[in-house]
Structures are given as structure tokens and as C-alpha cells.
Amino acid sequence: MDKTAELKLDGKTYQLPVVVGTEQERAIDISNLRNETGYITLDDGYANTGSCQSSITFIDGERGILRYRGIPIEELAEKSTFIEVAHLIIFGHLPTSAELRRFSDLLTENELLNEAMKHHFEGFPTQAHPMAILSSMINAASCFYPELFGPDSRNTFVVQAARLLSKVRTIAAYAYRMSRGLPIIYPKPDLKYTANFLHMMFSLPYQEYDLKPEAVKALDLIFLLHADHEQNCSTATVRMVASSRANLFASAAAGVCALWGPLHGGANQAVLEMLEAIHREGDDGSKFIAAAKDKNSGKRLMGFGHRVYKNYDPRAKIIKRVCDQLLEKLHITDPLLDIAKHLEEVALKDPYFIERKLYPNVDFYSGIIMRAIGIPVEMFTVIFAIGRMPGWIANYKEVMEQPHSRIYRPRQVYTGPTLNHYTPIKERK
């Protein structure tokens, strides 16, 4: 007998169905609540609300577990690559050699932008934030593919996915080049995904970028670790837009906008700016920690805390280790890493952070790696967006494939004026 939840309201008792996931996540299905009771639910920030059932990513926030299609992030970080993981996340299984070759070839075939798009790039001011350019140019790119909007767009999903995943990298690199007044560097078909991105970012017409294997691998791992994260703010945004049957590129562009916020993907840029400010002031971090605990300071310890993880973010553990390894291999000493480690050490012993279960999240150390590779801080959230693209594509696909997928349209509790009437301007005070 399926479990139900009993709800007593206004002298009546209702039985609500209980849904249990494969990892024993339990939910009360309230799909008929308003029809049956006249009540809706209210949940600030959706902290207690499941918007969907999904089979892509599993997170156990209490135990610090993250798995893509059931495979632990630690195993994938050690043994896989970003593009292999992208295939896993989007299509639900690790690719065979033939599948990986086909997917990789599709990415290569789609790495260029339509040459006409260069005019759009030229229209942006050099100080334009690359996240603004990224969201605009993803939508601009869709204008060159009318089949995205056609009735049979589902039949071309694989090509669309490869197109988006490949071009997001090219758009990002072009945005960086334009911001520095540098000539655009075209992708090279013989380079793999992440190496090609670094080539487009840092090569010069007369000099190839020195693709250090450890730097390429570190950035590939950063992409891999960001590839999906269940119903985070930007992925939930992608699903919201997908639910109206908007096209893949429009949904991803909306995801970029949501990711930009400093409480979400923008935190990696905010962490670096925080560390630089602490370093400039000669503080060891103690003053900043005190401010972060003071509600009136308007400051937070960026890169700390998480809506789901009430334990150490498993991605942060991996990134912290790679930080040490990469800086050693590149013979770099970065005072900001020492400040970050000191902040973590002090915070993890501080009752304020302990009581609120605030731990380092994915954004706390990732910027140190990107800085060591030479990626400028304003590009950090763009790197996050490139990494998250497989997750957005997979969630878009999941919405489109649901047989009875309905448009996402939350209700509200209205708190505005009751019945009111128009007042002619002469009578207004």
C-alpha cells in the first residue's frame, strides 16, 4: 500500500500521496492540494519544495555526496574528462569509444561561430561584463539555426546540444579577446575541448599559446566539477523557460543570467575580489570574518555556505587539493591561497559558522586555479557557465521528454490592496 500523508484542515482529513525517490528522498505530492482543499503552500526560496522528479544528479547535503547519473564526483574527477562527463549527464550513460568519437566530432564540427556574429561582438563596449555578452550571444547564435524553432526541433536535439556546448566556449573566448582589444583566434579542429578554449583565449596570431598539460587538466576538471548540480537557481531557471517550450538556446541564455548573481555562480568572482581586498588591507582575514558575522555589515564570507550542503562541498575538497598541486607544478605562490586557507581554518572553528553549518562551497577555491591559469576574474563566472552547460542541456532535455510536462507557473499569496477603483488625476492628492 503506497504511503500517504494525512492533512487535517477545517475539520476535514485529507490523504496526500507520498513519492519516494531511488535514494529514499521522500516528498508529499501536493499536485491536487488546491483542488481538494482550496489551500496552496508557501515556501520561501523553495527550500522545501521539489519542482520535479529528475534522474540526472543526486546530492546528499548532510553527507556531502554528489553523483552524476549515480557515479560519485570523486571517481569522475579522478578518471574522467569534461566531455565524457557531459555525455554521461546529457545522454544518461558513459559513452563507448565510438559514441565519444562521434560526440567529439560533433563538437569539432560546431566550434565556429557564424562569421556574421563578429559584428555583434564589435558592438559591445570593451568594459561589458562577459556574462552579459554570453547570454546575449547565445540567443544571437540561435538566429542562425531556424530548425531550433521548428516543430521537429526534438529530432535535431543532439546536434543542437553539441552546437550549444561547443559554441559557448567560442563565444566566451571571443568576449575575452574583444575586451582586451585582441584579434579573435579561431578554434583548431585538432585540439580537444578545453585545450581549444585556452588556445582561443590566449594564443596570438604570431604565437601559439603554450598549452601546459597541468593547466589544461586543471581547467577541464573545473568544468567537470561544475557540470550539474540538481535544481540550483540557474538550472531551475532553465527548466522554467523550457517548460514554456522555448528553444534550448533561449533556455540556456536564461540560465546564464540566473548564474550571474553573486549568491550563485557570481560568487567565484566575489570570492577573488574578497581575497584581494583582504590582501590589500593587510588583514589576515580575521577582520573580514568578524564583518561576515555582523548582519549589518552587508558582507558575507563569499564561497561559504550552501542551501543543500550542510557539510563540506565535495567539489571544494577536490578543488582545494588541485589548487595545491597546480600551483606547485606551475611554481606559483599565491598569497590569496594562504588567505583562503586561513579564512577556512578560522571559520570552521567559529561557532557562528558551525551553528549554521557553513562550509566552503565550490566557489571558494576555484578562482585560485583560474587565476593561476591566467583567466581574469571577470571571466570566472563565464567559466562556471561553460562547465554547467551539460547540466542545463540535460535538464532541458528532461523537461522536453516528459510526456505530460506542464508549464511551470507557481501560485502566490496576494498581500496587496483589496478591491480598489480608479481615481481621476484631478482628485488625486
Q: Give the three-class secondary structure for 8.
A: strand
- In the complex, minimum distance from the CB of residue 99 to ligand SDX, in angstroms, rounded to a whole number: 26
Task: Select the residue interacting with ligand SDX from 8, 10, 12, 45 (CB under 6 A).
Answer: 45
- Could you confirm whether 306 is annotated as catalytic? yes
Determine the residue with CB nearest ligand SDX.
305
Q: Which of 95, 130, 255, 303 binds ligand SDX (CB under 6 A)?
A: 303
Distance CA(81)–CA(175), nearest Å, equals: 25
The single residue among 130, 187, 305, 387 that binds ligand SDX, judged by CB under 6 A, is 305
Taking the complex as a whole, the smallest distance from the CB of residue 226 to ligand SDX amounts, in Å, to 6
User: In the set 102, 192, 212, 264, which binds ligand SDX (CB under 6 A)?
Assistant: 264
The least CB distance from residue 229 to ligand SDX, in Å, is 3
Size of the site for ligand SDX (CB under 6 A): 22
Element (H, E) at 253: helix 248-259
The answer to whether residue 267 forms part of the interface with ligand SDX (CB under 6 A) is yes
Closer of 58 and 202 to ligand SDX (Cβ)? 58
**Beta carbon nearer to ligand SDX, 182 or 290:** 290
Q: Is 240 in the site for ligand SDX (CB under 6 A)?
A: no
Active-site annotation holder among 350, 363, 404, 421: 363
Q: How far is C-alpha 423 from the chain's CA centre?
A: 47
Which CB, 120 or 229, lies closer to ligand SDX?
A: 229
Environment class of residue 22 by beta-carbon count within 10 Å: exposed (0-12), middle (13-18) or buried (19+)? Answer: exposed
Among residues 263, 238, 258, the alpha carbon closest in space to that of 249 is found at 238
What CA–CA distances, in Å, run from 140 to 135, 252, 310?
9, 12, 39
Strand partners, 67: 58, 72
Nearer Cβ to ligand SDX (17/72): 72
Using the rule CB under 6 A, which residue among 163, 229, 239, 397 binds ligand SDX? 229
Name which of residues 274 to 293 contact ligand SDX (CB under 6 A). 292
283 flagged as catalytic = no
Burial class (CB in 10 A: 0-12, 13-18, 19+), 421: exposed
Nearest approach, Cβ of 266 to ligand SDX (angstroms)? 8
Give which of 64, 68, 61, 70 is closest to 82, Cα–Cα: 68
Q: How far is the CB of 412 from ligand SDX (least distance, A)?
A: 19
Q: Are 169 and 382 a contacting pair, CB within 8 Å?
A: no
**Going by C-beta distance under 8 Å and a sequence separation of 6 or more, which residues neighbour residue 256?**
131, 134, 135, 138, 234, 385
- Counting other chains too, the contacts that 46-55 makes at CB distance below 8 Å and 24 or more residues apart are 46/236, 47/307, 50/25, 50/231, 51/231, 51/236, 51/239, 51/408, 52/231, 52/239, 52/398, 52/399, 53/19, 53/21, 54/230, 54/231, 54/395, 54/398, 55/22, 55/92, 55/398
Q: Which of 306, 334, 338, 350 is catalytic?
A: 306
Out of 304, 380, 392, 396, the only residue in the binding site for ligand SDX (CB under 6 A) is: 304
Q: 232, 237, 366, 381: which one contacts ligand SDX (CB under 6 A)?
A: 232
Binding region for ligand SDX (CB under 6 A) out of 71-79, 191-199, 263-271, 399-407: 263-271
Between 170 and 381, whose beta carbon lies closer to ligand SDX? 381
Q: Which positions from 340 through 359 interact with ligand SDX, judged by CB under 6 A?
A: 356, 358
Shortest CB 112 distance to ligand SDX, Å: 29
Query: Three-state DSSP class for 260?
Result: coil
Give me the residues paired with residue 13 across strands.
Answer: 8
Q: Are 400 and 237 in contact (CB under 8 A)?
A: no
- Rule CB under 6 A: say whether 107 interacts with ligand SDX: no
- Residue numbers at the binding site for ligand SDX (CB under 6 A): 45, 229, 232, 263-265, 267, 292, 300-308, 356, 358, 361-363
Residues serving a catalytic function are: 306, 363
